[in-house]
Structure 1
Amino acid sequence: MQEASIKHVQCLSPTGLHRMAYKEWGDPLNPRVLVCVHGVTRVSDDFDELAAALSDTWRVVCPDIVGRGRSGRLLDARNYQLPQYVADIVTLLARLDAGTVDWFGTSMGGLIGLGLAGLPGNPVHRLILNDIGPTLNPAALARIGDYIGQDMRFATFEEGASYIKSISLSFGPHSDAQWHKLASDVLRQNADGQWVRHYDLALAVPFKNATAESTLQGEALLWHAYDAVRCPTLLVRGAQSDLLTPATAREMTQRGPKARLVELDGIGHAPTFVQSDQIALVREFLLGQPA
């Protein structure tokens, strides 16, 4: 597989500076830029297959959102929220000197793209939302929020990989090698030799601080952003997803950018886009071909 360059950009939060790491594939002078952003506990390495496949046409940039992977951590965990993530992406785009970008976002990465694409004068040319929308199933959010903050430690990589697979079965069928890669991307050894997940456990703080009122306010803001999106939009839904409901997906086809909806059978939250047919779906949409 083609090797990516790993780079960093300095970003600003209300409590100081932090570094955001990103992987870059393809020609760094290519004006066609595709930004791929991962889910809440995942990392940029998730996109290795997709980025390698598309780097013949695009300069593919895959950041580790702050608090994950190779990126820094925030001093105040309350800032692990969409406004901070969108601001960091704006800084990244300035570093890339990208006039326009295509966007692929899985789960949280889709919400970041939605927040950016809903702003006046935004640079998003085409938008792909992977199993995410403005309204999120509360039970699924509670499930995700519950395991994010658990301080899981494993004596061996195999134990950690088994755990990662157990919480990721909704990703759909994968080969043993693919499950190994999905686990190795998000497991690291600590100073004691234990295997731990590669993110700041304080990511759980905003989930724990959420109230019914703040959740409704956030949903209203996301729908407002969605209704402001003007670029062609593809919505991919795992047919068995417990986070993006069929009703929300249908509504997204009827308002705002009126997203084109594709459902993937046998998959929940969320499709990984490491399979060749899923990668082809991305290429076809970004090239303006039927999805």
Structure 2
Amino acid sequence: MSSVSTAVQFQPADEPRLDFVACASLAGLHRMAYWEWGDPDNDRVLVCVHGLTRTGRDFDPLARALNREYRVVCPDIVGRGRSDWLIDPSGYVIPQYVADLVTLVARLRPARLDWVGTSMGGLIGLGLAGMAAVSPALRPSRGPWGLDAAADVPLGRMVFNDIGPALDVDGLARIGEYVGQDLRFDRYEQAVDYVRTVSAGFGPHDAAGWNALTRFVFREQEGQWVKHYDLRLAQPFALQTPEATTAAEALLWQAWDHLPVPSLILRGAQSDILRQTTAQQMVERNAQARLVEFDGVGHAPTLRSDDQIAAVRDFLLTP
């Protein structure tokens, strides 16, 4: 008599699951939202972290391409998307974001943790990797909400999307001009036009692509379309001094020089954030790094096109 298996094979879904994790700041607790793709029991985890004014839904195409091999997790960094806003806006800085991601990693319990970080998400990843450089294993401690400690969470491979230890001042000034602007549109199509204008560096996209890049960064409120994030996150951004930037870059270069895992640097050939000279320095200073550039793209590649997705997929999955 033949036996029939009762096991249910996991089938990837077309849309992600939404969940939340409690994180701590000096002002108290806040919830961080994250979008999850793939088998929830898969302990091979890929964390994808967005740029300054974006959300975890930026990675939908990449997640769909990788959710059979990975449990793909795409957080909305605090102050953005479906996450809470901080009581104290001074907390909108990289150290707070790193602490939040450590809490998330403890929740996920990965056997292997790979990383894709676009712009700010890459800096968060570099901060996390800096912790791994101190200890070969990333060991999030037990949190106050009953989370078990992740005993050994080995970092696998890391993708840094148009970001590095040195930042172009002119590019940062361009971003700073629109981060805190309180814009309101009567029609969704106006929001799409706005995103297409300020995000020209994303490179060429068709109408469906620009719609997808707008869908989660504007929300309807009282009959108008407004930005999805806390406008106060512009405050610590604007308070950066040249001295503070220089000190931060020194720490980032130190973390990069000791990055203990293979890394892929993606660069838009016309980027005004990651200079070509900086990208070359990154390759020269870390033997485990390699660089891929995309023509016709500035800051930052959106990881939506076939060639960009293929570059990430090949790097993460090739033995």
* TM more than 0.5: yes
Partners of 1:25 and 1:59 within 8 A in 2 = yes
- Please give the secondary structure, in 2, of the residue aligned with 1:254: helix
- Please give the secondary structure, in 2, of the residue aligned with 1:170: helix
Matches of 2:237 and 2:308, distance apart in 1:
31
Instruction: Tell me by how many angstroms 1:99 deviates.
Output: 3.2
- The CA deviation string for residues 14-48 of structure 1, in whole angstroms up to 9 with x for no partner, is 11000000011000111211000000000011111
Q: Which amino acid aligns with 1:15?
A: A
- Please give the secondary structure, in 2, of the residue aligned with 1:17: strand
Instruction: Tell me by how many angstroms 1:264 deviates.
Output: 0.5
Instruction: Tell me by how many angstroms 1:282 deviates.
Output: 1.0
2:79 is aligned, of 59, 64, 67, to 67
**Coordinate RMSD, CA, aligned:** 1.1
2:295 is aligned, of 265, 270, 273, to 265
Partners of 2:44 and 2:111 within 8 A in 1 = no
Partners of 1:104 and 1:129 within 8 A in 2 = yes
Provide the aligned length of Structure 1 versus Structure 2.
288
1:40 aligned to 2:71? no
Matches of 1:257 and 1:81, distance apart in 2:
29
Question: What residue is the counterpart of 2:286 in the other structure?
Answer: 256
Q: Which amino acid aligns with 1:167?
A: V
Segments of 5+ residues of structure 2 without an aligned counterpart are 1-12, 139-153
Question: What residue is the counterpart of 1:147 in the other structure?
Answer: 178
Q: Give the 5 Å matches for 1:1-291.
A: 2-119=14-131, 120=135, 121-122=137-138, 123-190=154-221, 192-288=222-318
> Which has the greater radius of gyration?
2
Q: Which amino acid aligns with 2:198?
A: I
- After TM superposition, the runs of 4+ consecutive aligned structure 1 residues lying more than 6 A away are none
TM-score, normalised relative to structure 1: 0.97
Segments of 5+ residues of structure 1 without an aligned counterpart are none
TM-score, normalised relative to structure 2: 0.88
Instruction: Tell me by how many angstroms 1:104 deviates.
Output: 0.3
Matches of 1:67 and 1:22, distance apart in 2:
13
Matches of 1:59 and 1:134, distance apart in 2:
28
Partners of 2:162 and 2:301 within 8 A in 1 = yes
Matches of 1:225 and 1:77, distance apart in 2:
26
User: Quick check: 55-64 or 250-259, which moved more?
Assistant: 250-259
Partners of 2:161 and 2:265 within 8 A in 1 = yes
- The CA deviation string for residues 162-192 of structure 1, in whole angstroms up to 9 with x for no partner, is 10110111101111101111011201011x2
- The CA deviation string for residues 173-225 of structure 1, in whole angstroms up to 9 with x for no partner, is 111101111011201011x2111111010110111111111111111111111
Matches of 1:257 and 1:48, distance apart in 2:
31
Identity %: 57
Partners of 2:40 and 2:71 within 8 A in 1 = yes
Partners of 1:227 and 1:256 within 8 A in 2 = yes
Partners of 2:261 and 2:288 within 8 A in 1 = no
